[in-house]
């Protein structure tokens, strides 16, 4: 079982607590009697970490806290907060689990908020993007088959919506948001793809096929995508980047509707791209955090993309080296290098496709980097999060990191050990994103 903090002992409600409850109800009645705009102005100043408690006061309060108007007011007043969403695959749990927390909530682990799971969310290799007030979960694998289904998780209300399906079923696709639209590339079945890329318009709730004049036969034969990102090119145009299964870079230019071939990257032990201020960050199995200029994808050099190490994080590297999610510390190292794609009859994906990726996950919170990993002890398994500020030094061009904070955000029962651990016994960080709410 998972827990987000220590269980508090039950106690009887004392006289002071009863009086406090009465006063709260009186004050809540007084608040809702005010003009609507004033109520929104007052509630906009309440921290997101207190919304769960405040929503229990009354149904009107709950409706106000979930109203789109409140978030518009918070945005206009500059009072939005970074809310971090974490998705885990937990041993013995049939569903993937989403959790939400703010930085303020870390002072009280009990405020790590579990989100009701979607019963049909794929457990493996969906493309996931944050846009507007929520998170889009696109495609993936269900029952060994690629899926075309799309789900939306509303970050304000923690509720789910089923969106129109894609034209093509996809798993391990590239996805990115450009000018308010969601572009999806690749991830389709080898040699059978009718539509290599498509775009979703959240306003009209429709999918359209993308023109692909630069598409070649190689893309169709190797449609799997290991990494994806949205970057600003040297011509100051936003492009969706994708790193194919053959380590070849692809760049889709939405403004011109052209798919271009880019540089290659023999990623090896390095996985998990995260773009901050047009710099790509990644983490390798040895625990180092690496960086690369986004423009490296355009250069097409014989040596591939050039990566450097984020300096100043030696202590964090030692911690990551002990992480099961990075080193698979049950005696099996670099586990994602041993997977093989096995195609059974009727297009079934027989191999465990989540082994393509390591368990650690990079994300961002404004200009800072977020990193999730685990620490396995004799009696518990803890999921840790660290926030890292980044600074480029002009004299050397190097990027240095500073550890802002590092804490356990969740505690779980340890997995059952076996001589040959399987993916079913691993707690895996699937996705991590942040929203301004």
The three state secondary structure string of the chain is: CEECCCCCCCCCCCHHHHHHHHHHHHHHHHHHCCCHHHHHHHHCCCCHHHHHHHCCCCHHHHHHHCCHHHHHHHHHCCCCCEEEEEEEECCCCCCCEEEEEECHHHHCHHHCEEECCCCCCCCECCEEEEECCEEEEECCEECCEEECCEEEEECCCCEEEEECCCCCCECCCEEEEECCEEEEECCCCCCCCCCCEEEEECCCCEEEECCCCCCCHHHHHCCCEEEEEEEECCCCCEEEEEEECCCEEEEEECCCCEEEEEEECCCCCEEEEEEECCEEEEEECCCCEEEEECCHHHHCCCCCCCCEECECCHHHHHHHHCCHHHHCCCCCCCHHHCCCCCECHHHCECCCHHHHCCCCEEEEECCEEEEEEEEECCCCEEEEEEEEEEEECCCCCCEEEEEEEEEEEEEECCCCCCCCCCHHHCCEEEEEEEEEC
- Which is nearest to 208 in space by CA: 184, 229, 228? 184
User: What are the tens digits of pLDDT across the range 331-346?
Assistant: 322 323 323 333 333 3
**What values do phi and psi take at 20, rounded to 5?**
-65, -40
pLDDT of the residue at 110: 54
pLDDT of the residue at 111: 64
Q: What is the distance between the alpha carbons of residues 416 and 63, in angstroms, rounded to a whole number?
A: 43
pLDDT of the residue at 274: 92
The domains located in the chain, with CATH, are 11-76 (no CATH), 82-117+272-332+348-432 (no CATH), 122-264 (2.120.10.80)
Per-residue pLDDT of the chain (437 residues; tens, 9 = 90+): 555 444 434 444 444 444 444 444 444 556 767 888 888 898 899 888 788 778 888 888 888 888 888 988 998 999 998 899 999 888 778 889 999 988 766 656 556 789 999 999 998 789 999 999 999 999 999 888 999 999 999 999 899 999 999 999 999 899 999 999 999 998 888 777 788 899 999 999 999 999 887 677 666 666 677 788 888 876 678 899 888 777 788 889 998 888 888 888 876 566 788 999 999 999 887 788 999 998 888 877 778 889 999 999 998 888 887 665 554 333 322 323 323 333 333 343 434 434 444 457 888 988 999 999 877 777 787 888 899 999 999 999 999 999 998 888 888 776 654 444 444 456 778 899 999 98
């Amino acid at each position: 079982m998972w827990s987000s903090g220590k269980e508090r002992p039950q106690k009887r409600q004392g006289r002071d607590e009863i009086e406090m409850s009465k006063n709260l109800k009186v004050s809540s009645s007084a608040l809702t009697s005010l003009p609507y705009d004033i109520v929104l102005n007052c509630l906009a100043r309440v921290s997101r970490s207190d919304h769960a408690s405040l929503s229990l006061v009354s149904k009107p309060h709950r409706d106000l806290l979930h109203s789109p108007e409140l978030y518009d007011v918070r945005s206009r007043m500059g009072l939005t907060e970074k809310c971090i969403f974490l998705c885990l695959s937990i041993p013995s749990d049939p569903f993937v689990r989403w959790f939400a927390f703010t930085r303020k909530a870390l002072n009280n682990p009990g405020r790590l908020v579990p989100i009701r799971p979607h019963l049909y969310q794929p457990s493996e290799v969906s493309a996931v993007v944050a846009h507007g007030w929520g998170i889009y979960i696109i495609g993936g694998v269900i029952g060994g088959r690629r899926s075309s289904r799309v789900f939306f998780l509303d970050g304000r209300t923690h509720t789910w919506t089923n969106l129109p399906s894609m034209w093509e079923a996809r798993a391990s696709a590239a996805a990115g948001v450009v000018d308010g639209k969601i572009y999806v590339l690749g991830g389709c079945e080898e040699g059978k793809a009718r539509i290599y890329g498509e775009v979703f318009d959240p306003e009209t709730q429709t999918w359209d096929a993308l023109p692909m004049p630069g598409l070649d036969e190689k893309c169709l034969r190797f449609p799997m995508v290991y990494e994806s990102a949205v970057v600003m090119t040297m011509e100051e145009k936003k492009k969706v980047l994708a790193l194919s299964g053959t380590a070849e870079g692809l760049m889709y230019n939405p403004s011109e509707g052209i798919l271009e071939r880019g540089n290659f990257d023999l990623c090896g032990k390095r996985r998990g791209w995260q773009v901050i201020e047009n710099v790509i960050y990644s983490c390798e199995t040895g625990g180092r955090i690496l960086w690369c200029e986004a423009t490296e994808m355009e250069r097409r050099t014989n040596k591939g993309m050039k990566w450097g190490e984020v300096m100043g994080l030696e202590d964090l590297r030692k911690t990551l080296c002990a992480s099961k999610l990075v080193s698979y510390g049950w005696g099996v190292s670099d586990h994602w290098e041993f997977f093989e794609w096995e195609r059974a009859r009727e297009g079934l994906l027989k191999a465990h496709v989540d082994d393509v990726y390591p368990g650690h996950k990079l994300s961002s919170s404004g200009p800072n980097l977020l990193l999730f990993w685990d620490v396995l002890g004799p009696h518990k398994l803890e999921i840790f999060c660290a926030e890292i500020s980044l600074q480029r030094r002009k004299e050397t061009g190097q990027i240095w990191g500073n550890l802002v904070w590092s804490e356990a955000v969740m505690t779980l029962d340890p997995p059952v050990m076996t001589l040959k651990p399987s993916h079913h016994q691993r707690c895996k960080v699937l996705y991590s994103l942040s929203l301004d709410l």
